Amino acid sequence: MGTAIAKNILKSRFNLVVYNRTIEKTYTLVEAGANSVASPKEAAAKSDVILTSLSDDHALLDVVTSEEGILSGLEIQ
């Protein structure tokens, strides 16, 4: 589901930063023009809007709250 959403974002000509715990899943998006990063922290630091598409609550909590998670990459003003 996340890949389909990402492809539509790219079709709309928005800049897209992608992260996936399985790097191979980003390859088709990178070929289509997305920028891949190594961590959710890096994705958050390079983004104005963050969308997630994860399999369950545990995955979401890990991606958001881990040491390299989304929250650690936000610049709060």
Model confidence over 13-67: pLDDT tens digits? 999 999 999 999 999 999 999 999 999 999 999 999 999 999 999 999 999 999 9
- Residue 3: phi and psi, rounded to 5, are -65, -40
Burial of 43 (0-12, 13-18, 19+ CB in 10 A): buried
Place of tokens 């650690």: 72
Whether pLDDT at 75 is above 90? no
pLDDT value of residue 76 = 78
Q: Nearest to residue 59, comparing CAs of 69, 49, 50?
A: 69
Cα 69 to its chain centre, rounded Å, is: 11
pLDDT value of residue 77 = 66
| Domains in the chain, CATH or no CATH each | 2-73 (3.40.50.720)
Return the biggest CA–CA distance within the chain: 35
